[in-house]
A and B are shown apart, each in its own frame.
Chain A
Amino acid sequence: MSRLIELVGITKVFGTQTVLDNISLYIRQNEFVTLLGPSGCGKTTTLRIIGGFEQPTSGGLLFNGQNLLSTPPYKRQLNTVFQRYALFPNMNVAENIAFGLKIQKASRGEIQTQVANMLKMVNLEGFEKRNVASLSGGQQQRVAIARALVNKPKVLLLDEPLGALDLKLRKEMQVELKAMQQSLGITFVYVTHDQEEALTMSDTIVVMNEGKILQIGTPEDIYNEPNCAFVANFIGESNIIPGLMIEDYRVNFCSREFKCIDKGLGKNTNVEVVVRPEDVEITSPESGVLTGVVENVIFKGVHFEMRINTQNFIWKVHSTVQAQKDSTVGITIKPELIHVMPLRGATPLANSNGFGSHLAASLLHGDNNAPGEKVAE
């Protein structure tokens, strides 16, 4: 698993605004990497720097160990699927797909077979002569993917390619894209703000906010072991409660002391405690560590979504067991399901200060998933 693309300390400043702040990360061959974050977090700018449409203010970009920054976009061995497809309106479907091949001076017969193969792959057989404006959003999306993949790029960059599609189509395309990536063995760099999409498709997720990388890891890592409150809240729902780390393995929140498995945060340190709604267990009032009143119950199909008020905090709880509205219940949380996060700004990890690539490396390889590792430095 060699490093195909490497970003080293990339910073991008537009005017007075720092869009990317010292980003370091690498992407391995055949990996499906998703840059995930809210709008304005710098994920698209990162993709545009890799594609060559934007030059970083400082930092380096390596492709197979070679400097890529001085290579213009039309000489880079990567192709892009743009957010609004950017199909050429003056060309029909076949001409759009053939555009890259014509530039490579492929023979006529070669072009014809390749275009036919691509159309078959994206399920658009017989669409050769169609005007691109007459296609639906999903079909345009497929043409855009075919137009990029026909050039056999080493890397495919995708900028929120499913953003304009309806939910059902989006789910189908997620599965198809993932299948394509696996069968073709191409590295995908995917940009989205949709956490579910990221969890579904990615080998590696890079969570970004405000121009910084917050966490890099597998979907499981990111979901189960978020390294800060922002990631916990952005990926799925979370209860985020202010707390006090008394010492290793002991944390106080909601005026109670809980056992936990986190260490290395110091003694009597202010922290944030993150608990997933599905990790909150409802018990009888007597056996719960906390007691609270059920304020609200909503049936969601697979589970019930409840709000439980325990005086100092209103808990979001997902459970297959329904509690009665206005009844008093108990709450317990298993020690391994309590995630203690250092406060923002105090964390050694949330900022990718300095090079940070060793951090990226340790997180990327995921060879050590011990929860305590996330605060180790």
Chain B
Amino acid sequence: MMHLKRFYLGLMLFFMYAPILVLMVFSFNDSRSRNTWGGFSLRWYVELFNDPHTQLALRNTILIAIFSTILATIIGTTAAVGIDKLKKRSRMVIMGFTRMPVMMPDIVTGLALMILFLFGFRIVGFGRLGFGTLLIAHVVFNVPYVILSVIPRLRQLDPNLYEAALDLGSSPIRAFVQVILPELWPGVITGAMLAFTLSVDDFMVSFFTTSPGVQNLSIRIFAMTRRGVDPRINALSTLIFVAIMLMLFIINRRDQRLIKKQQSEV
């Protein structure tokens, strides 16, 4: 029975990770072939970094991730504080609306945003898809994740904390910055890291909300595959995979430490 369990788990992990493993191994393949091993080499990585299109895409991905994370974190945190202060029924409704985009298929979000942008351009008479729309789109799909990670911290807060700060003469803004925000930090940071990861990772929404001139990495990969599968794609995918895994690893480690810390405080 024990063996069967182990075997089953192994099989599951194999099917989950075999494709990415093959991809990673072949990213170091010296040969251009997709199925024969031609010896270890880093040439595809070198070629990748010498490709100006990829460099630009990398820059776009990082810029979009940083700016969308900052904006989404600010918007999401302030929104969470507001939502928390609502009466129960309105809060439930707003939280429902907040969870909806998280569950919505990316293709729907992407398409809807594209149509909205094009419609908006028609009304104002100018504008085109590009870096700006890409950034807005990323902020839009990131905000709910920030809200969802900050709300639990707010719920745990002593409801009198803010009042106590006011009572001692603190202005509302000072009370928020000095008393409330320090309590929310763990949630805010988790939300920001999630947002960053999702932004780096995203293809579908980005694909619909940018123009061919402005590519991020995932769109770049997609564009490259259309001209035949190139080993450089393996290299790029490997890099993205490793980066995302690293981010998720850090987020999980943080969460576990926080849970442990909370348990030890109780």
Q: Could you tell me which A residues sit within 8 Å of B by CB distance?
A: 51-53, 72-75, 79-80, 82-84, 86-90, 99-100, 103-104, 133, 147-148, 151
Contacts and interface: CB of A to CB of B under 8 A. Distances in A.
B94 to A, nearest CB: 20
B265 A74 contact: no
A72 B166 contact: yes
Contact of B174 (A73, A82, A103, A148): A103
Contacts of A79: 167-168
Contacts of A148: 167-168
Contacts of B167: 51, 73-74, 79-80, 148
Given A89-B183, A103-B174, A133-B265, A82 B168 contact: no
Nearest to A100: B168
Contacts of A75: 169
27 contacts: A52-B166, A53-B163, A53-B166, A74-B166, A74-B169, A74-B170, A74-B172, A79-B168, A80-B164, A83-B160, A84-B158, A86-B160, A86-B163, A86-B164, A87-B164, A88-B161, A88-B164, A88-B179, A90-B182, A90-B183, A99-B165, A100-B168, A103-B170, A103-B174, A104-B169, A133-B265, A147-B168
Contacts, number: 60
B149 to A, nearest CB: 19
Nearest to A87: B164
A52 B165 CA distance: 13
A152 B65 CA distance: 50
A80 B165 CA distance: 10
A19 B242 CA distance: 60
Contacts of A86: 158, 160-161, 163-164
Nearest to A159: B160
B88 to A, nearest CB: 12
Nearest to B157: A89
B147 to A, nearest CB: 22
A180 to B, nearest CB: 18
B171 interface: yes
A103 B169 contact: yes
A151 B167 CA distance: 10
B89 to A, nearest CB: 12
B179 A73 contact: no
Nearest to A76: B167
A53 B166 CA distance: 9
A79 B163 CA distance: 11
Of the four ranges (under 10, 10 to 19, 20 to 34, 35 or more), the interface on chain B belongs to 20 to 34
B164 A82 contact: yes
A321 B144 CA distance: 73
Nearest to B162: A86
Interface in B166-191: 166-172, 174-175, 178-179, 182-183
A82 B166 contact: no
A87 to B, nearest CB: 8
B171 to A, nearest CB: 6
A192 to B, nearest CB: 17
Nearest to A15: B87
A303 to B, nearest CB: 41
Contact of A99 (B158, B160, B163, B168): B168
A74 B171 contact: yes
A53 B182 CA distance: 22
The 9 closest A-B pairs by CB, nearest first: A86-B160, A86-B164, A90-B182, A100-B168, A82-B160, A103-B169, A73-B166, A74-B166, A80-B167
B160 A103 contact: no
Contacts of B174: 103
A73 B163 CA distance: 8
A184 B161 CA distance: 26
Contacts of B183: 89-90
Nearest to B167: A80
B168 A90 contact: no
Contacts of B161: 86, 88
Contact of B179 (A84, A90, A147): A90
A88 B183 CA distance: 9
Nearest to A104: B169
A284 to B, nearest CB: 59
Contacts of A73: 163, 166-167
Contacts of A52: 166
A109 B167 CA distance: 23
A134 B160 CA distance: 19
A147 to B, nearest CB: 7
A84 B168 contact: no
A141 B265 CA distance: 18
Nearest to B181: A90
A84 B265 contact: no
Given A90-B179, A90-B183, A84 B169 contact: no
A166 B169 CA distance: 31
A89 B168 CA distance: 16
A133 B261 CA distance: 12
A137 to B, nearest CB: 14
Contacts of A147: 168
Nearest to B182: A90
Given A73-B163, A89-B183, A151 B265 contact: no
Contacts of B165: 88, 99
